[in-house]
Structures are given as structure tokens and as C-alpha cells.
Structure 1
Amino acid sequence: MKRLVCLILIGISTFAFGQQSSANDSLTNPLIPVNKQNLLKDFDLVFYMRYGLDSDFKQDKLATSRFSGNELRIDLSAKVHEKVGFRFRNRFTSAPIPGTLDNVNSTVDIAFIDVKATDKLNVTLGKLSADWGGYEFDLNPIEVLEYNDILNHSENYLVGVGVGYQVNEKHRFNVQVLNASANRLDKKGTIILPKGIEETKVPLAFVGNWRGSFWDNQFQTSYSYSYFTQAKNKGMYYIALGNKYQNKQLTWMYDFQYTHDAIDRHGIISSMSQEEKPIMAKDVAYLEHWTRLDYQVYPKLIFSLTLMTSNAYAQHTTVENAGNSHIRVSYGASPMIQYSPFKKLDLRFYAAYVGRWYANSSYAKTELGQVDGNTGRISIGFISPLQLL
């Protein structure tokens, strides 16, 4: 018995000595070298999260109710040189599919370097967030419960180069040259190309944006014009006019968006066909209005209301010379209440409703077999950008 007690005491002493030695080693040789620890001052690590209990309705009837991880993204940014920064954001709520054109996984939102050429001029290279203009897309994705039709059917993160020029404190101009898509035109999915349409050898997008600030930053603008080409002699132009008013308690945003596609890049009208493999529609247009109101009722309580509408037009769909038809209009409404219990932590608990209504033209009903309908979602959960570093 005494021998057993001695062995245990020797083991404990050996373990304690080993722990002390390891502790001394860690102090002498830290995991992050001392000469590198200053880099952490210029390093940010943020988890963007939105989780909730979602109850989905279709035609006013409950379809399903379940807990859902709607948003989970990791955002890394660092200053690697006095004039060079890096940023990477990845989302974990979709499958990673490499682009057939850019070879980057679809889950990667942004991955770029930012080079400060002068005090007013900077250059970004890599996978960028397209500077569409408007404030619907400017909002962090965790803040948006439902996008309007154009953004919901767009490729918003593309590989390319951007140049930004800060004229003064109130005005900034950005220009981007991007891939028109992450994928080749003939690899976009189940919708097939019309006969006679050829893919261009230079599929690029050109984006220009102006951001202005007025009245002591109470009123701001984000206006843009973009032009894309993926097929020979078939382009698309996109106009977005964003307006924002803000005071101590109220933030109001309004976007006007219009796009005209020689071929239906967004695929909304094309997918309305009843064919098993629908043909991509030609000469289509989408016109939208979007607005959001955020009002701080109390320091910890915020009420939000989002309203939207989208109109779809098509010149040719299933029959030749159908005319400039107003195919469909959609409406959306989303009231939301957010409660933030902590002063020094941006963690909000929310309750919201998202309703969408779809009304089709007589042409869409008779020629495309469409029927009017609606969807709804009740969501209760939390929103937070959790900044770890």
C-alpha cells in the first residue's frame, strides 16, 4: 500500500513539474511571436449570424415550421502592409460550387486585396461585391429577410478589379470591371440558350457608382449604371438609384432599380414557361421599387418596415411578336421588431413577418399557364455580427 502511495505521489510531482515546464516554455516561446502580435491590431474576425424559428405559408396555408440557420458567414479583414489590406468573407449556408468561368467557389462572397495608391485613390483586385448602387444591397445580408426580385436573381459577387476615388468627404466615385458572371453562359442551369445565340469571348461587366452625402450626412445617395455582355451583340444595362435619410431615431431608404436584358440573365420570366427545359427569353425588362423604414422606438427597441414591388416585362416569350407585355407584378411587405438587451454587444432578438404576393397578366395565365399566388413566413430568432477580434 505504501508503495502504491509513493508511486502516485511521484506521478503527481512529475506531472506538476511537466506543467510548470510547459508553462515556462509557453512564456518563453508564445504561439504568436512577439514581433507578430502587433498585426492583431489590424485584424478583424466577425461571424455574421441569423438563426430563427421559421414558419412558412403558401396560399395562406402552413407548409412547414422548423428552426433554420438563415445566415452564417465569416468575415476576415487585415492590414498586411501600410498600403495593402485584405478581406475574405465566406458563407456556410449553401453548397460550394466552383464557377465555370472564374473557378471560385460560389460560397465565397468576397476575397480581395485593397491597395491604397494615394490618399484619395485605391484599387481592389479579386472577388468583389459588385457596386450596384442602392441601399437594399448595401445592407448586411443578415439584416435582409427577403430581397426584391432583381437582387434575389442576380450574381452579386464577381471577380475583377475596382478603382475608387474619394473626391472629398462628401463624394466618392467607384468604377469596376468584372466578369459578367461566375459561369459560362451555357452553364447557367436548366434554362437553355435560344438558337442563334453565341457566347461572347469577352464576357465582362462595367460598373460605375457615385456616392454622395448632403445636409451633414443626413441625406445620402448611391447611384450606379452597369453594362454587361455575355452573348455576341446581346447586352444588359442596369440602373440603380439609392436614397437614404437618417437622423437620431429614423432611417429611411428608397431604391429605384431598372434592368433591360437582351437575353434573360435573371431567368425570372424564362422560368415561367411550362416546358421541361425552358428557353431563355429575349428582350425582357424588370422595374422595381424598394423602401425600408427603421425607427428606434426606445434605446433597445427598433421597429422596421420593408415594402417592395417588382414588375416584369417581355417582348418575346413563347410566341413571336407578342408585343411589349407586362408579364407579372410582385409585392412584398415585411414588418419586424428588434430588441437589443446589451449596451456593448450588437445582439438583437427579432420577430418578423415576410409576405409576398404575385399577380400575373392575362397573357401569362393563358400562354404560360401561370396562376396568382402568395407566400408568407413568420420568423422569430436572433441577429448578430459577433466580432471576435
Structure 2
Amino acid sequence: MSKNTLRLLACGLVVTAFGATASAQQEHYTTEPSLAEQVGIVKAKQDKFNLFLNMNTSLDAAWDSENFNSLKFYARQLRIEAKGNITPWLSYRWRQRINRPNGSSGNIDNLPTSIDIAGIGVRPTENFSMFLGKQCAAYGGIEFDLNPIEIYEYSDMIEYMSNFLTGANFAYDFTPGQQLQFQVLDARNGSYESTYPGMYKKVEETKVPLVYTLNWNGTIVPDYWTTRWSYSYMSQSKDHNMMYVALGNHFDFGPVDGHFDWMYSNEGLNRKMIIKDLENVEYNSFVLKLNYHISDSWNIFGKGMYETASAGGTDKWFDGTKQRTALGYFAGVEYYPMEDGNLHFFLTYVGRNFKNNIDDTTASTNKLLCGFIYQLPMF
């Protein structure tokens, strides 16, 4: 074979190899997602799954009018939460309290009370949505609707309520900033006997233990005054019912904002057992909180609560005799070191005073809390 022939053969092999390489490179780059596509894939994955750890932990000092009682570290709230959007019309949410027992034996929905939320959201249209599963009752009130980690201490009205129940919620946004919700849920978590231990042998159990709630989340003065108002009706037994009203109002005036909640419960069977009467009791609660945002990083606040418990009334509202009065007074400072405002450290004083109107006795408690609140994004 001549040298010219060898040269032609070598050139042909080089050209062939180059063509194959170019073809492979072209195939590679046409199938690999672009940078924009990769970002879109990551965002879609993040939108489908978000995981959070909700924490409220502090060093607590407690004393009463006579004695210093304790100094301890205390994990007030520890909840894990996952949520996301599977499609534009389908979402899910799950939140569970880690520092609470998980037993579900005897619960009518077969779920432990440690689970706050476990269900799916469905949005068939832009203005109409549903949430199906275990969820927070739409009782209304601004403080009631906040993330529990944000609360240093609840009012008695909220503290003794069953807030997380299983059922369905239907919401309709009829104008921007105006929403109506209708909700139907199980009226309790546990059995009839455990919910009304002093009365379950004396009254006949209802066959439809449900609670119905109509909730308005609205705007009265745009940017300044928003509302969470609700009316609820609960079937407790065959002949006993509970009616509950909550009028929550949030105000925002620049560096000063806050909320004022009024809550009233008329209970045929004593659901909260703050007082000992088993039938025909009323609970009334007022909560006012004000924040002053000194800067983006610092906030000071004050909070007051006034609550009463009455008994011996009828189905008429405000018809009972007052048996107990409770006062709460809070003050504190919060520091937000991060721009997103998620993590904050706090120093808070919580004072409570209780008066028994029957025997005219009083009691008081005091706490000083120093700790942090953080909804930690884990994924």
C-alpha cells in the first residue's frame, strides 16, 4: 500500500471519529436539561415537599405570691410539619406534635391527638377550595389562628378547647380580601365517656357528634383592619349543645400592630371543665395584644387577658352566675437576627391572677421566660 493511500485512509478515520464525537456531543447536549430547566425542576421539587421543625424552648423561672417554685429548661412546643403542592389544584399538609403521646385508642377518628393536621387540599377553581382530613377548627380569633410556637401562654378559653379535629372545610373567596369558610368536623377526639366523664351515664349520647362552623376572614379597612369572625354550633349529647362565637380583629398602624379577640362559649355540657359545674356553663374571654416594632430586628409587646366563667344559666347568653375571674398580663422583648423574621429570641414576663367568686379566694402565678422561637426549614 502506497504512502498516499495510507494518508487518505488515516484522514478518513480522523474525519469519521470527529463526526462520531460531534454526533455524540450533539446528542448529549440536546438531551441534558438547560440551566433554566434545572432551576425549574428544583423549584418544582421544593414546591412538592417542604419540611419544618417548629420550636419554642426557654429557660423558665416560676413563682407565686409567696414562694419561688422552679427554674428549668422547658420545650414548650416541638412540632414537625410537612406540606407541599402536588399539582396546581392538589396540596397536602401534615403537622405533628413530637412532645405529646401518640396513642389513638378510643379516639373516634382513629388518630392520636399529637397529630394537629393531616389531610389534602383541593382547589377546583381559583376562588373555591377544600381541605379534607384532620385540621384546625376554624373557630375564629387572631391568636387562635397563629402558629402555636408564637404563643407564650394561651388564654384559658383556647388552652382548654379541642382545636384539632377531623372533617372537611370549604372556603370561597368571593372578593379579594374577603373569604367565607364552612366547616364540619367531629365534635371531639376521644370517646364520649372520656370527654364528659361526669355526665356520660346521665345523658344520652348523640348519634351525630359534629361541630359546624361558619367563618368570615375579611378586610374592613384595607391595610389597617382585618377580621377572623366565626360562629360554631356543636352537638354534645341528645339534648345538649354548645354555641361558640369568636370575633378576632387585627390592626396594623405602621410600627404598631396588634389584635383584639373576643370569645364566648355557651355549653350545655361543660366541655372545658375550668369550673366544676357539669351543665349549663358560660365562658367569656377578651384578649388584647400590642406590638411596637422598634426596628426590623427589635420588637416590644404587651398583652392583657380578662376571662370569666359562669354557671347555672340557660340557653340564653350571659345568663349564668359568675364563679371565676382570670386576669393575664404579659410584657416582653423579641430580637429577630435574620431578615426573614423566622428565628427570634425573647425575654417575656407572664403574670396570671385567678379569683374564685364563690369563696372569694385568689391565687396568682408568675413566670419569666428566656428562650427562642424558630420554624426551622429542614428541606
TM-score tier (shorter): 0.7 to 0.9
Highest Rg: 1 or 2? 2
Instruction: Report what 2:348 is aligned to.
Output: 352
Return the match for 1:336 from 306, 329, 332: 332
Alignment counterpart, residue 73 of structure 2, candidates 63, 67, 72: 67
- Equivalent in the alignment of 1:5: none
1:266 alignment partner, SS class: coil
Distance in 2 (alpha carbons) for counterparts of 1:223 and 1:354: 27
Report if aligned partners of 1:60, 1:374 keep a CA contact under 8 Å in 2: no
Corresponding residue SS for 1:238: strand
Distance 1:42 1:371, change over 3 A: same
Aligned mates of 1:344, 1:311 — CA distance in 2: 38
In 2, the alpha carbon distance for the partners of 1:144 and 1:194 equals 33
- Find 1:129's aligned residue among 132, 136, 143: 136
SS of residue matched to 1:202: coil
Equivalent position of 2:26 in the other structure = none
**2:14 corresponding residue in structure 1:** none
User: 1:75: Cα distance to partner?
Assistant: 1.3
Counterpart in the other structure of 2:283: 286
* AA partner of residue 106 (structure 1): T
Please give the alpha-carbon distance, in whole angstroms, between the structure 2 residues aligned to 1:345 and 1:306. 21
Residue 344 of structure 1 and its aligned partner are, at CA, apart by 4.3
Instruction: Tell whether 2:190 aligns with 1:183.
Output: yes
Q: Paired residue for 1:221, among 223, 227, 233? A: 227
Deviation at 1:153, TM superposition (A): 0.4
Distance 2:320 2:52 in 1: 47
Q: Kindly provide the CA deviation profile for residues 34-90 of structure 1, in whole angstroms up to 9, marking residues without a partner as x.
A: 998532233221211111100112334211111111111111101122211000011
| Alpha carbons 1:179, 1:204 under 8 Å: kept | yes
What aligned pairs does 1:224-263 form with structure 2 within 5 A after superposition?
A: 224-263=230-269
CA contact (8 A) 2:258 2:289 kept: yes
User: Separation in 2 of the partners of 1:107 and 1:223?
Assistant: 27
- Distance across 1 between alignment mates of 2:47 and 2:113: 30
Measure the CA separation in 1 of the matches of 2:189 and 2:374: 29
Of 173, 188, 201, the residue aligned with 2:207 is 201
- Is it true that 1:169 corresponds to 2:176 in the alignment? yes
In structure 2, the CA distance between the partners of 1:36 and 1:104, relative to structure 1 (3 Å rule), is: farther
CA contact (8 A) 2:331 2:350 kept: yes
Number of equivalenced pairs:
335
Q: Determine whether 1:325 maps to 2:321.
A: yes
Point out the more displaced range, 157-166 or 299-308. Answer: 299-308
Counterparts of residues 82-161 of structure 1 (less than 5 Å): 82-98=88-104, 100-161=107-168
Q: Is the 8 A contact 2:188 2:195 kept in 1?
A: no
TM-score normalised to the size of structure 2? 0.84
Give the fraction of aligned pairs with identical amino acids, expressed as a percent. 29
- Give the alignment's Cα RMSD to 1 decimal: 2.0
In the TM superposition, what whole-angstrom CA distance separates every residue of 1:125-165 from its partner, at most 9, and x where no partner exists? 00011011111101211111111111110000000001000
* Pairing 1:283-322 to 2, within 5 Å after superposition: 283-315=280-312
SS in 2 for 1:201: coil
1:94–1:59 Cα change, 3 Å = farther
The one-letter code matched in structure 2 to 1:151 is I
Distance 2:207 2:338 in 1: 54
**Unaligned residue ranges in structure 2 (runs of 5+):** 1-37, 314-318
**Structure 1 contact 289–309 (Cα < 8 Å) conserved:** yes
User: How far apart, in 1, do the equivalents of 2:320 and 2:232 lie?
Assistant: 23
TM-score by length of 1: 0.82
Rounded Cα–Cα distance in structure 1 between residues aligned with 2:79 and 2:149: 9
Query: 8 Å contact 2:309–2:322 — kept in the other structure?
Result: yes
Partner Cα distance (1:47, 1:250) in 2: 29
Distance 1:328 1:345 in 2: 39
How far did 1:233 drift? 1.3
